[in-house]
Chain A
């Protein structure tokens, strides 16, 4: 475990050095990352202000929801995004050989090697929004469950992204990734606005509601204990599936180098 911690620290400092070579790019990516989140916040805040509430969701809840999504999205992008599209090139060029022969877990290495530092920028406005909208006083248990819910959200988001990246071992085109990312992106909206069939799909088939809606409900005292626990279970299941798929996919890998 300590070895993995040390490796992660080494990846981090290596990525800091890389980013500092292209400083302008780093700064524009940092600011550019805020764009869509702010636009979506403007949309939802304008709608809710016009009609007072969206079902049970009032403006403070919308702030927490948007903030939570930004935190989960920022963390997942930081960990995974720059690695996602590398995986197919590892396979195509045969460099996966070098990864498989290293004395480290291959999933750890392929999915965390390149950390996307500008994505961390989303955590600041995300946290500000959560603080702005949170119903005070906060119960310690709710806060704890909220943080666990956010971690579960990151695990679910990571697992879905990693599974998609794994499929590039068989299919080179990455368009389906765009579609799934488009779907994940709508999770910054209250889950209640979706029709029943979609809501059930996003709960039991592709458990996306646990990414932001469920942690928000937990923090706003609107969920019992069962819902956040279900989120954690969903995260464990999704992570397990991602791991199984990776191991399965490796069986189909035949080295490309001599």
Chain B
């Protein structure tokens, strides 16, 4: 009986977080026009980079092992994948710490970092669904170059797993960054720098092979390449099925490391945190 009660309790625990996701989807749908605008804003750099590459190829068939079609497809896919997977949990942390709204959250029977990640998830789902037409419009504009992925069933399944794990990695990094606010109160300046670096290391800026040597080495050992470069290469059909599952194992390793790091930072941070207001 007690086991059943524990299971029910656990179910109720999961329901809290599921409701948070649903609520945040409802909230985000109220601002669906904003979601379209922000998806457009997310795509602007990808489109400009495509235009730069188009000018750069002028007559060349290959640059860095990529044909122009592959390069354009790479940037379009990176645009949608990064847009859909990148959570900005750190901003929510930062606002709530700064405005003293974290204090009442600490008294609730919830794991605050997970709640923030769930809220971001709802927003990301909405942004992805509402922004899909924007992506399709861009595919139409660049239809002469876009390579439609013709992948096996297993690869599609692998992609779903890899994308999900990429999202977990990014969410946990966001939450870890957010924990810095517990020490500094105002950490927004650092976030910009951090995400600029992550766009280089994730392969959103340039396919990793084209990065200068030291940056390539850094990108190789950091978790970011598993959040954009790897899923996009899977979608481009450049990764075999076995390699996909190997990659997923590496991602799981990062998820474990980041989960641990988040737990340590959260514990140490809340011990140090002095709540104001509320």
> A residues near B, CB below 8 A?
22, 24-25, 27-36, 38-39, 42-44, 46-48, 50-51, 54-55, 118, 173, 175-176, 178-179, 182-183, 185-186, 189-190, 192-195
Question: Which residues of the partner chain A approach B200 to less than 8 Å between Cβ atoms?
Answer: 39, 42
Chain B, Cβ-Cβ closest to A22: B186
Chain B, 10-51, contact with A by CB distance < 8 Å: what is the 0/1 string? Answer: 000000000000000000000001100110110011001101
Interface centre among A44, A50, A194 (most CB of B within 10 A): A50
B199 at the interface (CB under 8 A from A): yes
| Shortest distance from the beta carbon of B187 to any chain A beta carbon, whole Å | 7
CA distance A33 to B195 in the complex (A): 12
> A31-B193, A35-B196 given as contacts; is B41 within 8 A of A182 (CB)?
yes
CB pair A39–B192 under 8 Å, yes or no, is no
A36 to B41 CA separation, bound complex (whole angstroms): 15
Given the interface contacts A50-B210, A193-B54, does A35 sit within 8 Å of B63 by beta carbon? no
Q: B residues bordering A, Cβ < 8 Å?
A: 33-34, 37-38, 40-41, 44-45, 48-49, 51-58, 60, 63-64, 184, 186-197, 199-200, 205-206, 210-212, 215
User: DSSP majority for the A interface?
Assistant: helix
Apart from the given pairs A35-B193, A54-B52, A179-B37, 12 other A-B contacts in the complex at a CB distance below 8 Å: A31-B193, A32-B189, A32-B190, A32-B193, A35-B197, A39-B199, A42-B205, A43-B206, A51-B56, A178-B37, A189-B52, A192-B55
Whether the pair A50, B64 counts as a contact (CB closer than 8 A) is: yes
- Select which of B34, B40, B188, B195 is within 8 A of A182 by beta carbon: B40
Give the residue among A33, A55, A176, A186 with the most B Cβ atoms within 10 A. A186
- Nearest CB of chain A from residue B88's CB, rounded to whole Å: 14
Known contacts: A32-B193, A186-B44. The answer to whether A47 contacts B188 by CB under 8 A is no
A–B pairs, 11, beta carbons within 8 Å: A35-B192, A39-B197, A39-B205, A44-B52, A47-B53, A48-B56, A173-B34, A175-B34, A178-B37, A186-B48, A189-B48
Cα-based distance from A183 to B47 in the complex (angstroms): 11
Q: Check B64 against A43 for contact (C-beta < 8 Å).
A: no
Bound CA span A27–B184, Å: 12
Q: Which residues of A contact B192 (CB under 8 A)?
A: 32-33, 35-36
Question: Which B residue's beta carbon lies closest to that of A175?
Answer: B37
Minimum C-beta distance from A168 to chain B (A): 15
B196 with A50: CB separation less than 8 A: no
**Chain A contacts for B190, CB-based, 8 A:** 28, 31-32
In whole angstroms, what is the CA distance A22 to B45 when docked?
A: 32
B57 / chain A contacts, CB cutoff of 8 Å = 51
Return A39 CB to nearest CB of chain B, in Å.
5
Which residues of A lie under 8 Å from residue B215 when comparing CB positions?
A: 42
On whether the beta carbons of B55 and A179 are closer than 8 Å, the reply is: no
Q: Establish whether residues B49 and A39, one from each chain, have CB atoms under 8 Å apart when the complex forms.
A: no
Tell me the bound Cα distance from A183 to B58 in angstroms: 25
